[in-house]
Structure formats: C-alpha cells, structure tokens
Amino acid sequence: METLGIGLFLLIIMMMLLSGGIWIAMTLAICGWVGQAFFVNTQPGKNLFSAFWESNASWELAALPLFIWMGEILFRTKLSEEMFEGLRPWLNRIPGRLMHTTVLGCGIFGSVSGSSAATCATISKVALPELKRRGYDENLALGALATSGTLGILIPPSITMVVYAVAADASIIRIFLAGFIPSAILMALFMGYIAWWSIRNPSKVPAADPPSSFWQKIKKSGNLIPCAGLIVFIVWVLIAGYATATECAAYGVFGSLVIAAYSRSLTWENFWEGLMGTTRTSCMIMSILAGAAFLTKTMAFTGVPRELAEWVNSMHLSPYALIGCLVLVYLVLGTALDGISMIVLTAAVVLPMVQKAGFDLIWFGIFIVLLVEIAEVTPPVGFNLFVLQNMTGKDSNTIAKAAIPFFLCLVVCILIITVFPDVVTFLPDYVMGKEK
C-alpha cells in the first residue's frame, strides 16, 4: 500500500497543477520528475530526455500529423458543403428529414478528418443555417451536432485511436478496423432517436420538399463522390495490406489536396492556415505524449501500475464491475480533461489493470474512445460544446442539455459493446486473423 500511496501523492500533485492552469504536458513531466527525484533511485534528467525522444521517434506516430493535416484541408475548403448537398435529396421522406444530415454529414466528414472538433465545426457551419432557415427545431439540431461531431474520433482514421494505439502498444490497423461496426451502431442510434422524436412531434418538423426524380438525386449525389472516393481508397489500401496506417495518412493528405485543387477551393491562404493549424495541434498532442511517456517511466520505476493491478485483482471484481468502475472514473475525468489527455494520463495505470483482468486491448480501445466521445459533450470541458457555443452564441450548458438524449445513445452503445464484445473484435479478427 506504500507504493499506492506514492501514486496517490502524484495524482494529488497532478490535480493541483491542472487546476492551477499549468499545461498538461508540463504537468505530466513535473509529476514524473517529482516521482523519480524523491521516490526512486535514478536520474530524472536522463530519463526525461530519453522518454521525450522515444515517445516522438515513432513511425506509427507519424500518421498523427498527417491525419490532422488531411482534416484541416477538408475543413478549410468547400468539400464539406458539397457532401451536405449530396445527402439532402435522399432523406426527404424519412421521419426527421434533413435533420439526419447532421448525423450522416458528421459520419462522412469524420471518417476523413479524424477530429471531433473539426467535424462538429464543419458540419455545423453548413447544416445549422440551412436547418434553421427551413424551420427545424434548433435544440434537436444542436444536440445532434454536438454528439454526432464525436463520430470523428470513432470512425477510422482517428487521431484519438492513433494516440491510444501508441500508448497501448497495439496495432493501429486493428484499432481502425474495430471502430467500423460500433460507429455504424452509434449512427443508427442517433438517427433512430431523431426519427422517433420527429414522429412524436410532427408539428415541429417542416413539410417535405417537392419530390425529386431518381436521376436528380443521382446528380446531386455527385457531390459525394470526391470525399467518398477518398474514404474508400484509404480503407481499401489499409485493409488490403498495400499500405501501413502512416502511408494511408499520407495518401489521404495527397488525395485531399488533389480534390481541393480540382474543385478550385484550394488557395495559398487556406493551404497555409491548414498547415499552421496542423503544426499547432500536432505539437500540442506530441508534447502531451512526451510528458506522459516520462510519467509512464516513473510509474514503472515505482511499481504503481503493478501494485494497482494486483490490488484490483485481489478485490476479485467481476469484469462488469471493473468496467463499471472505469466508466465512473472516465466520466469524472471527462468533466475536466479532453479525450487525448484522458488516455495518456491513465494509460500507465489502467492498461496493466485491464490486461490483468483479461480484457482485449483492441476492445478496450473502442471502449475508451466511446467514453472520450462522452467527454466531448460533458461540461465544463466539452470541446464540442465550446465549438457550438462560439458558432451559435448559445450557452454551453444549454447545448449540453439539448445533447442529453444523444448522450444516452452513447451510453447505450457502450452497453452494447460491453455485453457483446464480438461487435468490436469481429472485423479485425476476420480481416487480419486472431492475435496470438
């Protein structure tokens, strides 16, 4: 228990630094330094530099800035607007009609951006004015956009998945494959709620547009071809084994540049803005990963993860009880931290515990991503809430209240993958075979 006391002491220091506004990367590094300087007979300076180098000198991590850049390119061009126009004609006769574009648009854009905030901002910028102009319920639209924006981190390729794979030393390709079926289930839950709400509130749903012919719908759907082709190409070369995840990210950047240039929406100004946005985001994430790597070394030296795993194991918790405890922990963390920080802050402690309990790390990765999605719409630090607040002027608590039904859909999805874990592991096992 003395070792666990060290871990608790470092956790208290971490919470004090975070509450004081210290950068997350600096907080992690400071906690790692304190742990090694006062509780371990080692050289913190030497370990600090080695941890920073080892965490960033990773071929797998090279996919991270590339996926971010791909999302920035699409975010700053008119390709997202064309996707919205292509989806609209097919939804005219479904209960909820154009409201479903919030989910489908976020799903399509999220599959090529890998970012929750970028997905939420892009689709909201296109969908909100159009939905309000046509008389759709604003609260339903806000709730749908806030939560559907989180699909950007669940539908591969995903920045958060890459970070988890690096932290867990797991296969990025298997993590990507594992996200497809849960993301389809989550989209179905969101769209199901929209349809149910629309049937119960017919007076709040505008009349359908004049019907269009099949060929008119096909013509409109031509707007979907560029991004859909990019998605299909990236997924195909990844699954077929022709390219690694990093190479797929490079293809994605090249493809998005070509599409943007062909559509005449690529300018030197938005190219430079996208590059700078990519640099800022990538440096922030890699700094956090470096600080987390140093803290991980400290945890390894002190033996906290091993002690904690053995302590949890001694409690003889059932798998569902352990999962329940982890859900509560991550829900609490989600009120104060962003998703990537949640992963890197807890990886050193939680992953050994999960492995000792017999959970598949690929399955646990999707479980974590779904909890991160919940964190994106949980006040006070809900990134998607901030995005919509800046775009609409609505208070973030108002948006969070509108998102409650969709929040519950996320909870239902977590229950489904917990009760039926094969939903997550089936596709990676089928495509790549079971891991030995």
In this predicted structure, what is the pLDDT of residue 178?
92
- If you average pLDDT over residues 92-96, what whole number do you get? 79
Q: What's the whole-model pTM score?
A: 0.74
CA distances for 241 relative to 137, 155, 238, 255, 272, angstroms: 45, 19, 5, 19, 33
For residue 273, give the nearest of 111, 127, 77 by alpha carbon: 77
Identify the residue with better confidence: 64 or 153: 153
Give the domain ranges of the chain.
2-432
At residue 150 the predicted structure's pLDDT band, cuts being 50, 70 and 90, is confident
- Whether residue 196 has pLDDT greater than 90: yes
Kindly state the percentage of the chain with pLDDT values over 90. 11
Looking at the predicted structure, is the pLDDT value of residue 142 above 50?
yes
Q: Indicate if the pLDDT at residue 152 is higher than 90.
A: no
Whole-number pLDDT of residue 417? 93
Q: Is the pLDDT of residue 191 over 60?
A: yes
For CA atoms 392, 398, 400, 405, the dihedral sign is negative
Res 435: pLDDT = 62
Digit-coded pLDDT (tens) for 390-399: 777 787 788 8
User: What is the pLDDT at residue 380?
Assistant: 62
Residue 304: which pLDDT band, with cuts at 50, 70 and 90?
A: low
Q: How confident is the model at residue 186 (pLDDT cuts 50, 70, 90)?
A: very high
Angle among Cα 278, 152, 129 to the nearest 5 degrees reads 95
pLDDT of residue 125: 72
More confident residue, 22 or 239: 22
CB neighbour class for 420 (10 Å; exposed up to 12, middle 13-18, buried from 19): exposed
Instruction: Give the Å distances, CA to CA, from 343 to 7, 285, 400.
Output: 17, 11, 23
- Residue 46 has a CB neighbour count (10 Å cut-off) of 10
Residue type at position 232: V
Residue 283 and residue 55 in contact, taking contact as beta carbons nearer than 8 Å: no
The pLDDT, as a whole number, for residue 405 is 93
Tell which residue, 124, 116, 121, has the closest CA to residue 141. Answer: 124
Residue 1 scores a pLDDT above 50: no
The tokens 């969709």 sit on which residue?
406
Between 115 and 424, the more confident residue is 424
Whether residue 428 is predicted with pLDDT greater than 80 in this model: the reply is yes
Query: What is the pLDDT of the chain when averaged over all its residues?
Result: 79
pLDDT recorded at residue 22: 78
Give the pLDDT confidence score for residue 193 in this predicted structure: 95
Report, as an integer, the average pLDDT of 385-394. Answer: 77
**pLDDT tens digits, residue range 322-345?**
888 888 777 777 765 667 777 877
Per residue in 99-131, pLDDT tens?
888 888 788 777 766 667 667 776 777 778 778
